[in-house]
Structure 1
């Protein structure tokens, strides 16, 4: 039944995508982030829904005679394209050149459609569609996970959907941490009181699900995210009271085994998993120093660890977005990746500064703040996970760029003088004769 439902929704949307390509953006993000077809057990699990949506969306953009879609050339988009190009170059000189192409194609699909999303987000409604789609896609699993944690008393871990970027307990936890600030923004936009209450409940359940994942990295990211969310939020007193009331209750609710797991953060020298990650980080560092182009996507192999790791037999994935990019694409790749994050952050700060005195642009400042909080959570939690190519941060980056362009356009419109046509009517003169148009 789920397979049929997803199939009907996707194919029913295709005619609308041809009329409004921005709907294709929503469908692509929904399919790629939520992966609803993976929740079925039949033919839909392996059906190429994403490819169909991508082809139809691009075709609709190319055949739309009423509007030309252009890529906004900002510092963020230029850096993003340079990063994509650099990954293609490092793949050509990879340590395992025959094996990197499958991963390169996957990454190009993600980054390529991010460029399409950048071209399609032109209005506030488009940006908010993107935010809503991400919130619904990830919040669905967070709500389920929070209810599961309550029912099980926190005795079992929360896992993400199988076969996706966020299928692991650590990955789904970080995705939920990133989603909570977006929910916070949407809460301020909802007018209906029951809608607001539902959003608050979803936020609490997502936070509880993140705790129920037993992810230590996500716990650190949540602390950083909540602290920054409090600093960026408008109602600091109200939000502070909620945190003071809810955090101790949530910690007391979790069982002893959860506290034992989190306490190992202070004893990482005795944790085999933590030491394995450090070994992988040292391998990536040594590899980047030896090979300026890095090793390509496939470097977590015994022969690579034999050459560069302090403990050759302890083969681990990078478990860090930073060391993942460093090992795979070298110091230049890491510099581009960090520059991309910094420029996106600076874009958010510019938006906040420019919208602070404009009531009509208050939404832009509020959303930019929450995007910064979400990206901060990813930057902190990503230090312990191999999620450098996770698509959600790239969509949030695209949203930040789109908001800046909207703010620039609104400010330019406000400053521009109102043109007066040559044959326009002059202001009313009492001496002029008033002529009435005959009734028809």
Structure 2
């Protein structure tokens, strides 16, 4: 039944796109995030649904979508340069077969991130993309939150739709994404127009936020705990009563502590010292190897260059029990260990040029969202109150991802690249709106911006 339901839903969405081609863009975001082809086992699994939606999204935009308001921004050019650079390093990769396998999905994620802003030319389209991202990731998160609340969590054992520890279903990745989308949920609860804010929307929103906070507990991912701390610090900037906020956060944490499983405490305790944690010790050794490799191969080794690493590091071995236990360190040689960090993933695979491009893309994203916040936060006219809060939500989501990515290899995570595409779209929309205000100040003051589909009454999804 699940397989049939997924197939019928995808088929219905694709058919709806015949009337509203932009729906195919949303369909690809849904498929790329949820991976229904991995959930199903007959109809959906047998069809290349991701490729079909990918091609349909581009064809619909080229053939039937209005191009008014579409512009190619600076970060889209940087993403294009990164795409070309990845193609060059793939052609000269240390491990051609493995590199080609990773290239098969990385190029689609980069191309879609470059293409997406060209389609998000109205407020409604931007909001629809954000909602699709939140609700699709929310489906995975709600599933994990319910199982965690029922006592089914644990490191490496939380089953999320599929028994697959890759992509969005990897424990640290879904924990990072879960915390990153909380600002977007809060924005939709207050400024949404697809689902106008009322008690039902707010109830669902707060329940989804609770499920997001449960994900780091259910997965026992240490990165998730760091992301929660980052979110708490970031939100201090905009709250009106900071002391009340801090007090409430501390009180909530104290109340929640007795309900956390003992295995979660044991897992989190390894944050104190990496020397006593085998996983952390391995990561440090891999990072040191990657720096040495990049110094001797400054242009990078292509995708999966880590397969060539070999290093010796100290492994903690605990002997005895209770008060008589002791820890001694033994040498251990390891090979082909993954980077476990987006920074070192980019450095090892794309070299110093690739890492520089990646940091510039994300750095500009944080700065662009900050500029939108400063320019639009004081505007109170109808149709001008949602831009600054959305910029803040996207900025916070990106900052949380960047912190989480320090400890996992998610430099090319499609969900985050889609978020980058939404940032580019919002930046272009605001620049277009400001340009119209300067060119036609009188007319702009008398009516909403032409591309604000909600207030202008345009046909935004066509």
Q: TM-score, normalised by structure 1?
A: 0.88
1:67 corresponds in structure 2 to 66
SS of 1:248's partner is: helix
2:299 to 283, 293, 311: 293
Question: Greater share of strand residues, 1 or 2?
Answer: 2
1:66-95 Cα distance to aligned partner (Å, 9 max, x none) = 623786332211111111111111112211
1:225 corresponds in structure 2 to 231
Contact 2:366 2:399 survives alignment (8 Å): no
Deviates more, 1:344-353 or 1:139-148: 139-148
Identify if the C-alpha distance between structure 1 residues 363 and 419 changes in structure 2 by more than 3 Å, giving closer, same or farther.
closer
- Structure (1 or 2) with the larger CA radius of gyration: 1
**Number of equivalenced pairs:** 416
2:440 to 417, 425, 430: 417
Using the TM superposition, give the Cα deviation of residue 275 of structure 1 relative to its aligned residue in structure 2, in angstroms.
Answer: 0.8
Contact 2:36 2:44 survives alignment (8 Å): no
Contact 2:113 2:421 survives alignment (8 Å): yes
Higher relative contact order (CA 8 A, sep 6+): 2
Deviates more, 1:308-317 or 1:274-283: 308-317
1:433 corresponds in structure 2 to none
SS of 2:299's partner is: coil
Question: Following the alignment from structure 1 to structure 2, what is the Cα–Cα distance between the partners of residues 144 and 241?
Answer: 30
SS of 1:252's partner is: helix
Using the TM superposition, give the Cα deviation of residue 197 of structure 1 relative to its aligned residue in structure 2, in angstroms.
Answer: 1.6
1:364 to 387, 390, 399: 387
Using the TM superposition, give the Cα deviation of residue 239 of structure 1 relative to its aligned residue in structure 2, in angstroms.
Answer: 5.0
Contact 2:22 2:61 survives alignment (8 Å): no
Residues 1:348 and 2:354 aligned together: no
Using the TM superposition, give the Cα deviation of residue 328 of structure 1 relative to its aligned residue in structure 2, in angstroms.
Answer: 0.5
1:302-330 Cα distance to aligned partner (Å, 9 max, x none) = xx114x77775243211000000100010
Deviates more, 1:225-234 or 1:389-398: 225-234
Question: Following the alignment from structure 2 to structure 1, what is the Cα–Cα distance between the partners of residues 178 and 263?
Answer: 22
SS of 1:313's partner is: strand
Identify if the C-alpha distance between structure 1 residues 6 and 234 changes in structure 2 by more than 3 Å, giving closer, same or farther.
farther
2:214 to 205, 208, 220: 208
Question: Following the alignment from structure 2 to structure 1, what is the Cα–Cα distance between the partners of residues 108 and 288?
Answer: 30
Question: Following the alignment from structure 1 to structure 2, what is the Cα–Cα distance between the partners of residues 418 and 207?
Answer: 45
Unmatched segments (≥5 aa) in structure 1: 421-440
SS of 1:279's partner is: helix
SS of 2:385's partner is: helix
2:397 corresponds in structure 1 to 374
1:142-188 Cα distance to aligned partner (Å, 9 max, x none) = 22222212211756753544445122222221121112121111121
Question: Following the alignment from structure 1 to structure 2, what is the Cα–Cα distance between the partners of residues 320 and 229?
Answer: 25
2:271 corresponds in structure 1 to 265
Identify if the C-alpha distance between structure 1 residues 355 and 278 changes in structure 2 by more than 3 Å, giving closer, same or farther.
same
What CA RMSD, in Å, does the superposition of the two structures yield over aligned residues? 2.3
Using the TM superposition, give the Cα deviation of residue 236 of structure 1 relative to its aligned residue in structure 2, in angstroms.
Answer: 5.1
Question: Following the alignment from structure 2 to structure 1, what is the Cα–Cα distance between the partners of residues 272 and 57?
Answer: 49
1:181 to 176, 180, 183: 183
Contact 1:295 1:329 survives alignment (8 Å): yes
Unmatched segments (≥5 aa) in structure 2: 314-331, 444-462
1:50 corresponds in structure 2 to 50
2:80 corresponds in structure 1 to 81
Contact 1:294 1:329 survives alignment (8 Å): yes
Question: Following the alignment from structure 1 to structure 2, what is the Cα–Cα distance between the partners of residues 199 and 110?
Answer: 28
Using the TM superposition, give the Cα deviation of residue 238 of structure 1 relative to its aligned residue in structure 2, in angstroms.
Answer: 6.8
1:305 to 298, 309, 324: 309
Contact 1:345 1:372 survives alignment (8 Å): yes
Deviates more, 1:88-97 or 1:229-238: 229-238
Identify if the C-alpha distance between structure 1 residues 240 and 204 changes in structure 2 by more than 3 Å, giving closer, same or farther.
farther
1:432 corresponds in structure 2 to none
Question: Following the alignment from structure 2 to structure 1, what is the Cα–Cα distance between the partners of residues 231 and 441?
Answer: 44
Question: Following the alignment from structure 2 to structure 1, what is the Cα–Cα distance between the partners of residues 125 and 268?
Answer: 40
Deviates more, 1:27-36 or 1:245-254: 245-254
Deviates more, 1:184-193 or 1:348-357: 184-193
Counterparts of 1:61-210 in structure 2 under 5 Å?
61-64=61-64, 67-68=66-67, 72-152=71-151, 158-160=158-160, 161-163=162-164, 164-189=166-191, 190-210=196-216
Q: TM-score, normalised by structure 2?
A: 0.84
Identify if the C-alpha distance between structure 1 residues 109 and 103 changes in structure 2 by more than 3 Å, giving closer, same or farther.
same
Counterparts of 1:29-40 in structure 2 under 5 Å?
29-40=29-40
